[in-house]
Amino acid sequence: MPSAHILVVDDEPDIRALLKEILDEEGYVVEVAASAEAAREARRARRPDLVLLDIWMPGDDGITLLKEWQEEGALNVPVIMMSGHGTVETAVEATRLGAYDFIEKPLSLAKLLVTVQRGLQAFNLSRENAGLRQRSGSLDEPVGRSAAMQALREQVGRIAAHDTPVLVLGEAGSGKGSFARYIHESGPRASGPFIDVGVISLDGDNPAIELFGSEEGEQIHYGLLEQANGGTLFLDDIGDLSDGLQARLLGALESGSYHRIGGTEPVNVELRLIAASHYNLEQRVAEGRFRHDLYYLLNVLPVVIPPLRDHAEDVPELLNFYTDQFVAQDKLPYRSFSVAAQNRLRHYAWPGNVRELRNLVQRLLIVGNSESIEAEEVEAALGAQPQAAMGSAIAYELPLRQAREQFERDYFEHILREYDGSVVKAAKHAGVERTHLYRKLRALGIDAKHVGK
């Protein structure tokens, strides 16, 4: 089980030795530094999960170092300040600069251990709330009593016990993220972070920095791989990863280390990679669009998520689950689905899979005002779905090329309206590469910003 990495910064050798001994006994991985400069080098070599930082030290003091980290945006871990000559003003200044807590010397070891434990817990909670560890609508255990889902859960349970990379395949919206989380929470790294990265959502001029971090002078940016150290990195839409990033990722996985962008020293990482794709990666390998060596590394333990239409008997249970979830989390009014409504939805094709079902439940709970959801209301809601709305609008007497263009125009305009004109979100929903969607919109004469208004 991965242990938190703690950096102790104090110029007194006895205190460094005592803290290292006590924290080692508690199962933490401890590194010590005798000065601000040594602390900078330690942070450069490995991202700590928590820092114990003395205030009064030769050279740069602890407040100066804390301010430096805060200004460069690197204060993304809890920092506990220590001082034998603290004042209220010093404590206030440390708190203003982002310190988690302030403890006085001589140290009470019992208080120290409690503060360290609470600091780590608070940081993990804040990371979850920021969305780094959870996906909207994800489940502790994926829902469904069908034979297909039971067999899938059994397979995933066996896979989770190992630390090998996993490749999760399935159509867009089928629940790949839920299964990735389930694998993480059922495996040996469950106490570590779960970093969820949608490859298609990586933005900025250099997505490599987001994944691998960067160094520029004394400034260090920790990438997503380092944030996932000791836990799981979930890379959704891995088929959209560029050739250069595929090569970097492969090297990091095979060697267990890599260089930050602009860095000169290797960074060691120990994590589990779960990758997901709605593409046929084997076909993309044959087309030269995905590295064969990365594919073979990921494909040791493949998991295929069936589309919802192939286990439609789970629809009533999913309806109940998401109804309860929206009522509990979003305080929406409870409404039950009638037998006729459930029967209609069991026979619906669900082109958007579980994600579409979840969105439909949310819409019905928001717009309806009766206690029961009847088949007529479901039919009207399905009529507003992209597939139904477009199916009735297509003129079948048109040539195939023109009919396809009409379908695509209606489809993408609908999605863009749903996401307020966001091409990034629309591309992810549609399961296409962002650059491909930009080209498609230009060809169809669609102005994303105008449609989103």
How far CA 379 is from CA of 205, 324, 338, 446, in Å, comes to 45, 22, 13, 29
Average pLDDT over residues 30-56: 91
Q: How far apart are CA 402 and CA 387, in angstroms?
A: 17
Query: What is the band of 210 on the pLDDT scale with cuts at 50, 70, 90?
Result: confident
* 258: exposed, middle or buried (Cβ count in 10 Å: 0-12, 13-18, 19+): buried
Structure token pair of residue 115: 């503060």
Q: Which residues pair with 215 in a beta bridge?
A: 220
Helix (H, G, I), strand (E, B) or coil at 158: helix
* pLDDT tens string 256-308: 999 999 988 899 988 999 999 988 899 999 999 999 999 999 998 899 999 99
User: Has residue 200 got a pLDDT over 50?
Assistant: yes
User: Has residue 373 got a pLDDT over 60?
Assistant: yes
Higher pLDDT, 248 or 402: 248
Say which amino acid occupies 100: Y
Structure token pair of residue 99: 């310190």
Q: What do you get for the CA distance between the two ends of the chain, in Å?
A: 49
Nearest to 335 by CA among 319, 323, 318: 323
CB 406 within 8 A of CB 395: yes
User: Has residue 90 got a pLDDT over 70?
Assistant: yes
Higher pLDDT, 2 or 195: 195
Query: What is the band of 220 on the pLDDT scale with cuts at 50, 70, 90?
Result: confident
User: Has residue 174 got a pLDDT over 50?
Assistant: yes
Cis status, amide bond into 266, omega within 30 of 0: no
* pLDDT tens string 396-418: 455 555 666 777 778 888 888 87
How far CA 281 is from CA of 167, 181, 292, 357, 431, in Å, comes to 10, 22, 9, 26, 14
Could you identify the residue written with the tokens 């390998």? 285
Any residues with CB less than 8 A from the CB of 152 and at least 6 apart, and which?
142, 179, 303, 305, 306
* pLDDT tens string 54-66: 998 988 999 999 9
What DSSP letter does each residue of 220-249 carry, written as one string? Answer: EE--HHHHTTTSEEEEETGGG--HHHHHHH
Higher pLDDT, 63 or 206: 63
CB 2 within 8 A of CB 189: yes
User: Has residue 180 got a pLDDT over 90?
Assistant: yes
Q: How far apart are CA 417 and CA 450, in angstroms?
A: 9
Query: What is the band of 388 on the pLDDT scale with cuts at 50, 70, 90?
Result: very low
The full length of the chain comes to 453
Q: How far apart are CA 164 and CA 298, in angstroms?
A: 8
Q: How far apart are CA 183 and CA 166, in angstroms?
A: 9
User: Has residue 339 got a pLDDT over 80?
Assistant: yes
Instruction: Work out the mean pLDDT of the chain and round it to a whole number.
Output: 85
User: Has residue 136 got a pLDDT over 50?
Assistant: no
Note the pTM of the prediction, 2 decimals: 0.66
Structure token pair of residue 92: 């206030």
Share of the chain above pLDDT 70, in %: 87
Q: How far apart are CA 21 and CA 146, in angstroms?
A: 52
Of 188-192, 337-341, 443-447, the poorest mean pLDDT is in: 443-447
Predicted local distance difference test score (pLDDT) of residue 313: 96
Average pLDDT over residues 12-34: 92
Of 31-40, 263-272, 307-316, 422-431, the poorest mean pLDDT is in: 422-431
- Count Cβ atoms below 10 Å from residue 435 Cβ, excluding itself: 11
Q: How far apart are CA 241 and CA 337, in angstroms?
A: 41
From the CA atom positions of the chain, what is the Rg in Å? 26
Predicted local distance difference test score (pLDDT) of residue 69: 85
Query: What is the band of 137 on the pLDDT scale with cuts at 50, 70, 90?
Result: very low
Average pLDDT over residues 83-90: 76
Query: What is the band of 80 on the pLDDT scale with cuts at 50, 70, 90?
Result: very high
Segment of 84-88, 236-240, 310-314, 408-412 carrying the highest mean pLDDT: 310-314
* pLDDT tens string 221-238: 888 999 898 889 999 989
Query: What is the band of 394 on the pLDDT scale with cuts at 50, 70, 90?
Result: very low
Average pLDDT over residues 13-27: 92
Of 163-167, 194-198, 381-385, the poorest mean pLDDT is in: 381-385
Nearest to 242 by CA among 191, 205, 194, 216: 205
55 alpha-carbon distance from chain centroid? 35
Q: How far apart are CA 288 and CA 9, in angstroms?
A: 50
Q: How far apart are CA 275 and CA 48, in angstroms?
A: 25
Q: How far apart are CA 360 and CA 337, in angstroms?
A: 12
Predicted local distance difference test score (pLDDT) of residue 216: 83
How far CA 362 is from CA of 155, 168, 437, in Å, comes to 31, 26, 27
Give the residue ranges of DSSP H helices in 292-352. 292-298, 315-330, 339-346
